[in-house]
Structure 1
Amino acid sequence: MNPLPILMKNSIVLLFCTALAFNSYAQSNKKMITAVNGNKTSSTTLDAKIDSILRAVNMPGLSIAIVNDSEIVYHNTFGVINTETKKPVTKRTLFEGASLSKPIFAYFVMRMVEKGILDLDKPLHEYLPHSGIAETSKEEYKLITARMVLSHQTGFPNHAEGSDIKLAFTPGTDFMYSGEAFQYLAIVIGELNDIGYKSDLNALFQKEVTRPLRMSHSTFVWDDYLAEHKSFGHNKDGKPTQKHPSQGGWWNGKTFNAFSSLHSEAKEYAQFLVALLQQEGLKNETFSEMFKEHTHFKDDNPLKKQIGQTGWGLGMAQKPTKYGTMHMHTGNNHDFQSYMMILPKKEFGIVFFTNSNKALPFIQGFNTVIENIF
């Protein structure tokens, strides 16, 4: 797994341009998509254009949704779940969300903070010592808090892969993207609730997040619905790779992997975007904490130099625009890729999931379509 803050650097820029083009409304019961400059196209035309891009870039399948005025105004699916069987993607098809797991996990963490179960600034080792810290980092790691985890300031590597963890810097002083730190926090939350970090933690997540937000089938662990409706992933040659955890190798289906094991689809995940935009499920001051910049990138940070991102909030990257701050995340499990973003000042959001590594050429084509239409 490589959850993509850097590998899709060009795609982020292009999709950002795409996303800013959208503003939807209904007229005479016909959905229209309106660009910022006022030009319009129908949702049926957009459907046809997206379908043509999928064919041009050989993308197997796609689920995509657009939020405008803090409501879902567009949702459609395209392509197939398996290029060999040709079974079509439907609106029930689920995808690996990869690192789109992180923003919604951050929302779950903030639910725990509001309930008084977790203190955002209490060192995590006071809740549960980490057993895999290298000897040279055993004192400094004690500085790590949940706030540092959610804003990637721990100094943990992205993935330790069984090795002892040596911190790259003193926690709280720099930025290093880390799924490993997210999993430590998930285990702490499981410990605080006396439920571990498998199906019981997923059940708590669903109680606190997905059920209230009407995300009926989104899950971090394997279940019967997922077994029936999950898409196959596809490799760079367009060949199906895996569907069941026993075929994938990176996840056993039983553990709540806070950094990568969310399975969802565009409409359900768009309900989460709506919650962020409408500030649903958390206090206003909690959302302010999530959207505030907690990590400010140095000038030599690759994300700042190549994409224009300037920092990280609690769970999402941030990029300044003339339409306000964009909060965003990407996901990359190689044979599944995904993307989400919101512009709170515009009450706008977009999310897509694909069962391939074709996100970048799709975004490039999508951006061309927007330029041609709008």
Structure 2
Amino acid sequence: MILSKRTVQLWILIFYLISLPTSFGQKSYKTIRVPDGREIDIVTLDMHIKKAMDSIKLPGLSIAIVNEEDIVYHNTFGFANLKTKKPVTKKTIFEAASLSKPLFAYFLMKMMENGQLDLDKPIYPYLKSIFPEGVIHKDSFEDYKTLTPRIILSHGTGIPNWVKGKPIEIKFKPGTDFSYSGEAYQHLGAAFGTKLGIGWGSKLDSLFLKEAAHPIGMDRSIYTWNNAYNKDVANGHMKGKTNPEINKFKKVGPGFSLHSDAEDYALFLIEMMNPKNIKTTTRDEMLREHNHFKSDNELLQETGQTGWGLGFAQKPTANGLMHLHTGNNHDFQAYAMFIPDQKYGFVMFGNSDNLFPLLETIEKLLGEHF
């Protein structure tokens, strides 16, 4: 049988199309490599997660895993809204909670490279004109004036996590101990936006997108709300009940206001292990230990974490130094970690108050992740 030229061209086109990856720009993987070197079948992982979610009654999940410079696993499960049964899709975004902090730290490190931020210059001069009287307790005022971006990013301020409208009291000399503080991150964001003359609303978010997110491919991560995501945002859940309200933040909350999903955030983990948008020396400074925990630190005693860099906590493991961060906005929880020695990263977002039992179950299959 002699085929026409048109038929031959058609068969060539069909062969080309069926030989492409399952989605444009992505490779198709059947297994993932975990930090201890084992290969885990993706079908097995999917089944493990589904079974665990059913047992825990977790509403929705977005999860991604990185090997080398590739996202080798990204999947979504469950419901974005348990009441309406709206499913989580690969476009669904979640509140990232405190996973906001490392990404904002990365943004500031980029700004440092651009000469727009000095890690060791106190932030107070940029805030003194906008602070109402009484924000800082009079006994802590002199210590507050010494706070720098480096001290804040490594949680060495002595400021409580959140002060909830009370005057800020600093409980130790800044830079001498550890005290996790979302409140301090808020002050840093306000100081930086004020320094640039753009405030800490959508203009600061736009700068973040331009300088930090978009250059590494992140296109579904925002600190201030954009109505374009109205159809793709998940609802939070507490004790199985759906929160009908969506937090549409109008100001950049460096400590809590990021919306993102696992695939987008995994691109940030890839950048941390294989920097393209910042210098390797800048990345190294970000991941270097800046705040070493004292022997009585609860995180050291309970989790084995030993200190904090500029954005991430650190924990030595048998497979290399783990950099990690949890997130908890109560009705949204999140977790991310990576081990540069293994070129391995892991991130998960959940829209409820019971994500962390799922992490414990996943560890039974994948090994130590927290």
Give the alignment's TM-score, normalised by structure 1. 0.87
- Asked if 1:51 is matched to 2:50, the reply is yes
Unaligned regions of 5+ residues in structure 2, if any?
1-26
User: What is the aligned counterpart of 1:329 among 321, 325, 329?
Assistant: 325
The DSSP-based 3-state class of the residue aligned with 1:228 is: coil
The DSSP-based 3-state class of the residue aligned with 1:79 is: strand
2:32–2:67 Cα contact (<8 Å) kept: no
CA distance in 1, matches of 2:83, 2:28: 38
- Asked if 1:195 is matched to 2:194, the reply is no
Report what 1:72 is aligned to: 71
Report what 1:294 is aligned to: 290
Report what 1:92 is aligned to: 91
Report what 2:304 is aligned to: 308
Structure 1 residue 226 displacement after superposition: 2.5
CA distance in 2, matches of 1:321, 1:41: 20
The DSSP-based 3-state class of the residue aligned with 2:110 is: helix
Report what 2:349 is aligned to: 353
CA distance in 1, matches of 2:280, 2:100: 22
Distance 1:29 1:211, change over 3 A: closer
Report what 1:185 is aligned to: 188
CA distance in 2, matches of 1:37, 1:275: 22
1:183–1:257 Cα contact (<8 Å) kept: yes
The DSSP-based 3-state class of the residue aligned with 1:72 is: strand
Report what 2:221 is aligned to: 218
In the TM superposition, what whole-angstrom CA distance separates every residue of 1:69-98 from its partner, at most 9, and x where no partner exists? 132110000001111111110000000000
CA distance in 2, matches of 1:167, 1:271: 36
CA distance in 2, matches of 1:34, 1:328: 19
1:290–1:315 Cα contact (<8 Å) kept: yes
Structure 1 residue 359 displacement after superposition: 1.4
The DSSP-based 3-state class of the residue aligned with 1:201 is: helix
Distance 1:314 1:41, change over 3 A: closer
Q: Which moved more, 1:115-124 or 1:307-316?
A: 115-124
CA distance in 2, matches of 1:45, 1:278: 29
User: What is the aligned counterpart of 1:244 among 243, 246, 262?
Assistant: 246
Structure 1 residue 369 displacement after superposition: 3.6
CA distance in 2, matches of 1:260, 1:160: 15
- Asked if 1:340 is matched to 2:342, the reply is no
Structure 1 residue 143 displacement after superposition: 1.2
The equivalences for 1:1-374 within 5 A come to 31-35=30-34, 39-129=38-128, 131=132, 132-236=135-239, 238-245=240-247, 253-370=249-366
Q: Which amino acid aligns with 1:342?
A: F
Structure 1 residue 160 displacement after superposition: 1.5
CA distance in 1, matches of 2:226, 2:249: 8
2:332–2:351 Cα contact (<8 Å) kept: yes
**Structure of higher RCO (CA pairs closer than 8 Å, 6+ residues apart):** 1
Structure 1 residue 127 displacement after superposition: 3.2
The DSSP-based 3-state class of the residue aligned with 1:211 is: helix
Unaligned regions of 5+ residues in structure 1, if any?
1-27, 246-251
1:81–1:87 Cα contact (<8 Å) kept: yes
- Structure 1 or 2, whichever has the larger Rg, is 2
Q: Which amino acid aligns with 2:141?
A: K
Aligned-pair identity in percent equals 47
1:217–1:225 Cα contact (<8 Å) kept: no
Structure 1 residue 367 displacement after superposition: 2.4
CA distance in 2, matches of 1:191, 1:279: 28
Q: Which moved more, 1:154-163 or 1:307-316?
A: 154-163
RMSD: 1.6
Q: Which amino acid aligns with 2:290?
A: H
CA distance in 2, matches of 1:284, 1:271: 16
The DSSP-based 3-state class of the residue aligned with 1:221 is: coil
In the TM superposition, what whole-angstrom CA distance separates every residue of 1:118-151 from its partner, at most 9, and x where no partner exists? 1100111133335521111111211111000000
